[in-house]
Amino acid sequence: MAAKAGDNPESLMTLATVFCLRNLRKTMCYQGFRNKVCLRSDIFLPSEICDKLVNTYIELVHTDSNFEPEESFFQLFSDPRSTRLTRVQLREDFVRDRDLEAIRKQDLIELHLTYCNNLSSRSLKTLTCFRETLVSLCLFGCSHIFYRKGGAPLACNEDSEEEEDEGPASRQALETDFNFHGFNRLRLLNLGGLPDEVDAEALLKPLMSLTSLDLSNVQLLGTAFLTQWKDRLASLILYNVDLSEDVLFSPHNLLNLRHLDISRESRRTSKFKMNRKILTAVVQRLVNLVSLDMSGHIMLDNCTVPHFEEAMGRPSLEPCKSSIYPFQELKRPLQFLGLYDTTLCNVTHIPAYKVTGSKNEDQVLNAIEAYTEFRPELAHRAINQLFDIARIQHCSQLLRALQLVIAALKCHKYDKSIQVTGSAALFYLTNTEYRSDQSVRMRREVIQVVLNGMEEYQEVTVQRNCCLTLCNFSIPEELEFQYSRVNQLLLKILEPARQDESIQRIAVHLCNALVCQVDNYHKEAVGKMGFVKTMLHLIQKKLQDRMCDQVMEFSWSALWNITDETPDNCQMFLNCHGMSLFLECLQEFPDKQELHRNMLGLLGNVAEVKALRPQLVTPQFITVFSNLLDSKADGIEVSYNACGVLSHIMFDGPEVWAMDEPRRDTVMDKMWDAIQSWDVSSRRNINYRSFEPILRLLPQGISPVSQHWATWALYNLVSVYSSKYCPLLIKEGGITLLEKVLELDSSHPETKDMAR
């Protein structure tokens, strides 16, 4: 059988790493002073394992809400005699100065810090500890690392943690003492987002061996200084750097350049216009170029071959057929060409293997892949275009599309625009059309990132998109691995007094589906979360608005499901004044048949609990149940459920009937009449997981009418749905109990006929 999209299993290394991180105190650590984890003395770990532990730890912190971070985690790697780190990737505000200081004795080769806004100039001091070994350094988006906290001088106090509580670094206290002297092995440097106050040229001057430099969003006074690496630099990124012909002249002298990125966020922000002359000069001088990104630039018409002159036939990669004049000079096709948000992406012949743009699905997916990590503003727009492809056309690269959107949502958990467009795209990429092509693992990954979005954003659009996406899954089966979490999130959505109507409706529908057909321990757990109280709160609000809509009906249906064979939840329903709401709903909405069926089904569950039945035996409730025996609402369902409630009450005997009116005999007569009026071949809107509550009414002579109701119920179900309910009847010992009905003198002849 062919493997489904994303069906490759996790490696044993990954599984073992995650297990160790979730169980540090049971595997490689013990609990030390002040509850901090400490590495066991007999543990010695090589760099391959240590790198994996740290990088997986960061990923779990950002993508798994059930994962508990450890305050002293980085201290585990403080001694290179027992743990070795070489390649570390840290991201977001979670990382602090003292985390870097903890690993300052390690011989790091690669250190990637991305959007680490809690790092101050204390971490610059720590960086100098790695200067003799560091080959690759990324400080992308670390906007505060060049500033001191509270104006303190550049210092690294090894044992002090006081500075951690002082908040972010002050934007006024620029650190001027740091430079890259001594970083002689550094080859790859990313300074994307370097503050304007920092002199990039002076900062970079000591670095003689750079081969890759990223100066995205950096304000440069000029680019002449780049020529100091003219014989070495292979990759230069000047994303969102203001260009002119003079600025472009310096990169022309970097003759060994293989990757050049001069792209912009948008054409709207660009004053520079790319023309044929400039582009030709780039291609002619940079003969080693294999990758070029010029997205977001205004392209003058003289760059492209007129449509009627384009080479005939299918799109070609051959430079000689290029629809873009300057690229006809290429000796071979480029590996990568960024044309996103330019007119050039629409031409026929583009001599590049991978092109970003918006012309087709391939270009859009390439854009998401290329820009997700460091350019969420572009990735957001590309995901929006993927959303349109999945919604209006057909996504032909489903696995790749899903993996890219999931990666973007994980990478930018705190970016609202990515969360909105990503969750919307997932809704269409997981619908029925694509479902058969997706593996269990892939669909679980989707559920995880959707729940992350719900957790982080209480914003209407994200919540709606996430809830709608969950509706594409088989509920509860596919959500059971996150059962508790998804219920908590849905109940949180339903908390506000006036929630958005559409979200409320979807959330209540999901809640109802989640408590249908699950084990009792699941229902009990959800009940303890406040499920019963939340549903009754919704019902109360709808009553105040005098509105019986889907939210009202779903809420009663959810209560019916969650109280099924779950006495604790039935007790909660009574404790939270559920019976008074039942009476109010009956009075306010006398003609709402679906509502009556759901309410009576719920009360049937309450009536099955012997300890709770006395609370139902009041003149008011018995009169209501008795009157509902005559109901023709929803076929026989309302009458059937009312009779079921009364059957359990009658089974407790005449001694519990502590009232004069209505009389027990009168109510029993009405029950007999109701049962006689039902068509025994009726198709039912009901689903039994167990016959136990019905079977207990069979072998008894206290209430023959209860016995008759139970026998009628079984007879109807096994005759109309024989393949489903005959095995259940046999499994639960129903045959023996029916034989006892035949033996009892108190059994009514009609009851015996059905039992037989």
Give residue 22's pLDDT band: very low, low, confident or very high (50, 70, 90).
Answer: very high
Residue 740 has pLDDT above 60, yes or no: yes
What tens digit of pLDDT does each residue of 518-564 get? Answer: 888 888 898 899 999 999 999 999 998 898 888 999 999 999 999 98
Pairwise pLDDT comparison (56 vs 742), residue with the higher score:
56
Share above pLDDT 70 across residues of the chain, in percent, rounded to a whole number: 95
> What pLDDT was estimated at residue 310?
79
DSSP letters, 356-403, are ESSSSHHHHHHHHHHHTTT-HHHHHHHHHHHHHHHHHS--S-HHHHHH
Give residue 404's pLDDT band: very low, low, confident or very high (50, 70, 90).
Answer: very high
Q: Residue 89: which of 111, 60, 64 has the closest Cα?
A: 111
Which pairing describes strands 352-356 and 334-338: parallel, antiparallel, or unpaired? parallel
> What pLDDT was estimated at residue 165?
47
| DSSP-assigned letter for residue 162 | G
Give residue 7's pLDDT band: very low, low, confident or very high (50, 70, 90).
Answer: low
Residues of the chain with CATH 1.25.10: 617-755
Q: Which residues contact 514 (CB under 8 A, 6 or more apart)?
A: 475, 476, 479, 483, 486, 487, 490, 526
Give residue 497's pLDDT band: very low, low, confident or very high (50, 70, 90).
Answer: low
Give residue 244's pLDDT band: very low, low, confident or very high (50, 70, 90).
Answer: confident
What tens digit of pLDDT does each residue of 419-464 get? Answer: 999 999 999 999 888 887 788 888 999 999 999 888 887 778 899 9
> What pLDDT was estimated at residue 2?
47
Cα(575)–Cα(8) distance, integer angstroms: 50
Residue 628 has pLDDT above 80, yes or no: yes
Average pLDDT, the chain: 88
> Average pLDDT in the 581-592 region?
90
* Torsion sign across C-alpha atoms 646, 648, 649, 652: positive
Give residue 388's pLDDT band: very low, low, confident or very high (50, 70, 90).
Answer: very high
Residue 393 has pLDDT above 70, yes or no: yes
Count how many residues are written for the chain.
756
> What pLDDT was estimated at residue 159?
45
> What pLDDT was estimated at residue 235?
97
| Cβ atoms 714, 730 nearer than 8 A | no
Give residue 385's pLDDT band: very low, low, confident or very high (50, 70, 90).
Answer: very high
Please give the backbone phi and psi of residue 705, each rounded to the nearest 5 degrees, phi first: -70, -35
Q: Residue 210: which of 136, 126, 265, 277 has the closest Cα?
A: 136
> Average pLDDT in the 53-75 region?
91
* Burial letters 151-178, b for 16+ CB under 10 A, else e: ebeeebeeeeeebeeeeebbeebebeeb
Peptide bond into 80 cis (omega under 30): no
> What pLDDT was estimated at residue 742?
82
DSSP letters, 548-565, are --HHHHHHHHHHHHHTTT
> What pLDDT was estimated at residue 164?
46
Residue 226 has pLDDT above 50, yes or no: yes
**What are the distances in angstroms from CA 518 to CA 473, 486, 570, 689?**
16, 14, 16, 10
What tens digit of pLDDT does each residue of 135-167 get? Answer: 999 999 998 999 988 655 554 444 444 444 445
> What pLDDT was estimated at residue 120?
93
> Average pLDDT in the 617-633 region?
87
Global pTM value: 0.86
Question: How wide is the angle at C-alpha 417 spanned by C-alphas 412 and 418, nearest 5°?
Answer: 40
Pairwise pLDDT comparison (215 vs 394), residue with the higher score:
215
DSSP letters, 505-541, are HHHHHHHHHHTSS--HHHHHHHHHTTHHHHHHHHHHH
Which pairing describes strands 188-190 and 136-138: parallel, antiparallel, or unpaired? parallel
- Reading the block at residue 270, the tokens are 């660009």
Residue 678 has pLDDT above 70, yes or no: yes
What tens digit of pLDDT does each residue of 407-423 get? Answer: 999 999 888 999 999 99
> What pLDDT was estimated at residue 359?
95
- Reading the block at residue 115, the tokens are 């959007």
**What's the CATH code, domain 617-755?**
1.25.10
Question: How wide is the angle at C-alpha 521 spanned by C-alphas 516 and 524, nearest 5°?
Answer: 80
> What pLDDT was estimated at residue 535?
93
> Average pLDDT in the 82-109 region?
95
What tens digit of pLDDT does each residue of 478-491 get? Answer: 999 999 999 999 99
Which pairing describes strands 37-39 and 29-31: parallel, antiparallel, or unpaired? antiparallel
Pairwise pLDDT comparison (654 vs 214), residue with the higher score:
214
> What pLDDT was estimated at residue 162?
44
> What pLDDT was estimated at residue 151?
52
User: Coil, strand or helix: which one is 628?
Assistant: helix
> What pLDDT was estimated at residue 168?
61
